[in-house]
Amino acid sequence: MSKHITITADNFDAEVIQSQIPVLVDFWASWCGPCKMIGPFIEQLAEEYEGRVKIGKANLDEEADLAARHGVVSIPTLIVY
């Protein structure tokens, strides 16, 4: 079962900015080989740190404006907020 949350422009403020705990956001895309390689590790982190760190994934293809606002120029990009 997936423990990460999907980050979108609509929920970014509520899930990331207003979070009471640190948030790791993985900017990724389905066509990105390195993104696929680290995917299982990201899921493992989400499970291991549940309740202490929030793990979110933002799909670059669906959230290009969000990625641009945060300076993402290559993927995978991991940012801790």
pLDDT, tens digit (0-9, with 9 covering 90-100), for 19-45:
999 999 999 999 999 999 999 999 999
Say what the pLDDT of residue 2 is. Answer: 66
Asked if residue 54 lies in contact with residue 42, where contact means CB atoms within 8 angstroms, the answer is: no
Nearest alpha-carbon partner for 55 in 69, 39, 68, 72: 39
pTM, to two decimals: 0.92
- The topology (CATH level 3) of 5-80 is Glutaredoxin (3.40.30)
Quick check: is 21 catalytic?
no
Quick check: is 32 catalytic?
yes
Interval 7-24 mean pLDDT: 97
| Active-site residue (options: 32, 38, 78, 79) | 32
Give Cα separations from 11 to 17, 41, 56 (angstroms). 10, 24, 11
| Active-site residue (options: 7, 24, 35, 67) | 35
Domain residue spans in the chain?
5-80
